[in-house]
Amino acid sequence: MSLHATIDRVTDRIRNRSHSSRDAYLKKIARAAEEGPRRAHLSCGNQAHVYAAMPDKEDFVATRKPNIGIVTAYNDMLSAHQPYERYPDLIRKAGHAAGATVQVAGGVPAMCDGVTQGRAGMELSLFSRDVIALAAGVALSHDCFDAALYLGVCDKIVPGLVMAAGTFGHIPAVFLPAGPMPSGLPNDEKSKVRQQFASGEVGRDVLMAAEMASYHSPGTCTFYGTANSNQMLMEFMGMHLPGSSFVNPNTPLREALTIAGVERAAAITKLGNDYLPAGEVLDEKAFVNGMVGLMSTGGSTNLVMHIPAMAKAAGILIDIEDFHDISEAVPLMARVYPNGLADVNHFHAAGGIGYMIGQLLEAGLLHPDVKTINGTGLDGYTAEPKLDGARIRWDAGAKDTLNDKILRPASEPFAKTGGLKQLEGNLGRGVIKVSAVAPERHIIEAKARVFSDQEQVKLAFKNGEFTEDTIVVVRFQGPRANGMPELHSLTPMLAVLQDRGLKVALVTDGRMSGASGKVPAAIHISPEASVGGPLARVRDGDVIRLDAVMGVIENLTDTFADRKPVPFDGSDNAEGMGREMFAVFRAVAGPATEGAGVVV
């Protein structure tokens, strides 16, 4: 099948837009590759510091073994990252067996958005991505590594690590996932209890029992939010081994895949014949393939910000129009919560990523001719890993869906488009994800209620103030205002209003997580209100039209354009929970439509 015209056109547009920056980037990593790891040029004292703790340092100093650096996001507070505790020992053994040495180059922070939702700490969440990139950069700055293994799963962790991998693009990079926890309480039941608690129908004891039954063991949360969207993305972009994203932790198959990833890292260093620098994998085609994966699976809107930031680290410039156009061409092939009842384990069992990549390749919706850590060509990612003793073999993956309520072929999708829309109008630019929103809610015209933080919305809901169709405007939530926290804690109460028969929508310069669900939400509105963006001129009672069909976000009030913007008061967000240390980040963060980056 020839490449779909839209995919070809968008790729060319990105390539042309990025010509100068990508050319400069490739020259930069080529110069770094020519120099190679500098450990051979270090003084004896410098080298001794590198090798001092190695148990086999004499053998390493005397030979030309590749040295692999681990950059790990391990901590045992995040269920998704707890399995990484065992990885360094396993990786060292696998590396030694493959003729390499291995060192933990450094650790990076990993915070849990599930813990900080609706709390002050969430205002550090987005910026933690850039801190992760910086920390990974410090780890790799020792210039002693022939390849890097990146251990990370969740929301900001993978994007931050990819930003580092792109910046150190001359170093081969392999991403090693940890896998999702086994299925617990079904996500729709958990969501129902949350709504019942929000409306006062059940007590906190019932809510706590439901949450504990849902989040119950090591591994990624099983709904298809940002963490699992990250894992999908790494496979579509060729940074994981095929079929490795959704294998459960602490299983023989998971361990064998980790060993295979280490062996691959050892094989693609400049010391061998298959040198594959990360910057060559992270090209325009790879990012387009990632966006196709995002749309076809109904993935997290957070990736609409993270992908431009990741791409920029590799000299590639991506705009939200690229997401919109790809979404219009790519069918929605998966129904995974919050876009359906299944979780990622059910998705994986139904055929998973390998099935989807096969279908999308056949439909001409993916670039097949890409470089991946598995070798040249994306067709290898249609294979399924199987255990052959303690080793991995890759067999042909599923050709047919094993559950058409979860996974469908590209020719008979759940929807003809990916469900992500660009919004433009006199309120700015932003996006909306409609794959889980009922069609009758794709257009809403209603009076605005304006709030400056999410706590004000919760109080108004508690006081019973929402009695008519309403567009809830929550402004001063952008990166320069307060770090752009997710507003996911508003979802249950907005869903309650919707279930009562009201037409409601959220309009914000903030974020919603990958679990935003069935309530229409116009998010990432830029320019943000704190820098005088249009949301700062909205008043209570203004009539706003949110039209996800035509891609329009408009304030219909006659006097809107003539008003002065309401000034931003950031005093409530300036300190506490470390926010004072991030003032410099808030001062320089880019717009959400360009990735809200600080370091790229």
Summarize the annotated binding site for [4Fe-4S] cluster as residue ranges: 154, 221
Q: Are 159 and 129 in contact (CB under 8 A)?
A: yes
Distance CA 47, CA 61 (A): 9
Q: Are 507 and 473 in contact (CB under 8 A)?
A: yes
Token digits for 182?
A: 């086994």
What is the edge-to-edge ordering of all strands in the sheet holding 147-151? 101-107, 67-72, 147-151, 173-176
Distance CA 50, CA 303 (A): 37
Token digits for 410?
A: 């590209």
Q: Which residue's entry shows tokens 């042309």? A: 16
Helices then strands (H, E): number in the chain?
22, 16
Which residues, in sequence order, are CB contacts of 325 under 8 Å at separation 6+? Answer: 6, 9, 10
Instruction: Report in angstroms the alpha-carbon separations of 459 from 81, 118, 454, 463, 536.
Output: 35, 13, 9, 6, 21
Distance CA 396, CA 528 (A): 48
Q: Are strands 521-526 and 101-107 parallel, antiparallel or unpaired?
A: unpaired
Q: Are 212 and 222 in contact (CB under 8 A)?
A: no
First to last CA, the chain: 37
Distance CA 199, CA 370 (A): 50
CA 380-238-76 angle, to 5 degrees, is 120
**Nearest to 145, CA basis, from 154, 136, 153:** 136
Distance CA 384, CA 386 (A): 6
Q: Which residues pair with 415 in a beta bridge?
A: 332
Q: Phi and psi (nearest 5°) for 274?
A: -120, 40
Q: Are 268 and 276 in contact (CB under 8 A)?
A: yes
DSSP string, 396-441: E--SS-S-TTTB--TTS-SBSS--EEEEEETTEEEEEE-TTS-GGG
Q: Are 276 and 376 in contact (CB under 8 A)?
A: no
Q: Are 127 and 155 in contact (CB under 8 A)?
A: no
Q: Which residues line the annotated binding site?
A: 154, 221
87-97 and 252-267 helices, crossing angle to 10°? 50
Q: Which residues pair with 474 in a beta bridge?
A: 451, 508
Instruction: Report in angstroms the alpha-carbon separations of 222 from 80, 133, 294.
Output: 10, 26, 17
